[in-house]
Amino acid sequence: MLIEKLIHSLRYLPGVGPKSAQRLAYYLLQHGKEKGLELADSLREAIQKTSHCKRCHTLSENEFCNICSSNKRNHEQLCIVETPIDVLAIEQTSSYHGLYFVLMGHLSPLDGIGPREIGITELTNLLAKESNLLKEIILATNPTVEGEATAHYIVNLIQEKYKSNEIKCSRIAHGIPMGGELEFIDSNTLAKAILGRVVIDEF
């Protein structure tokens, strides 16, 4: 019974099917008891002590996350993403030093997910406080139909509300993966890559 319960719990994880769940459960019980208990402890601790940053809504164990509390970040740039893991992905590139705002997903009218559900009210409140410092808002929602629609919605909102502040809105370029070959890339991605091209200053 306990083993079945463990298998059932493991199946909750994304990408873990019935076979993988069985293998993981038997592995933990047979060979990985100590590490398994460590895993259980970190899981419990992380879940209990992690919440959302009060400013940007990414995951944080403090009231404000490390990025929002840092005095080394550029307060003139705000990058808007769909989920906390997107913040991590952008941070790992070390190419962005501004601040973030994490939406609660993307607009999806057919599923009843509108502006309020994704945190547009919170974004508007944040902009009301910080728009005097802001020079650029980078829309880094996913390059999906919903992500594009969400980006457009936010750009319209900003352009309407902050006409006089001259805040530049930009969209991340979606292009060709490093090491990719043009012939294997789908035409949507290739079209985006051509449209999102940048001027080369020097070779």
Binding site for Zn ion (CB under 5 A): 53, 55-56, 65, 68
Residue closer to Zn ion (CB basis): 26 or 96: 96
- CB-nearer residue toward Zn ion: 66 or 156: 66
Q: Indicate the pairing of strand 98-102 with strand 74-81.
A: parallel
Task: Give min distance, CB of 42 to Zn ion, in A.
Answer: 22
Q: Residues with Cβ < 8 Å from 100, sequence gap 6 or more?
A: 56, 58, 67, 78, 79, 80, 81, 87, 90
> CB 133 → Zn ion: shortest distance, Å?
16
- Among residues 130 and 148, whose Cβ is nearest to Zn ion? 130
Q: Which is nearer to Zn ion, 68 or 107 (CB)?
A: 68
Shortest Å, Cβ 53 to Zn ion = 3
What's the min distance (Å) between Cβ of 58 and Zn ion? 5
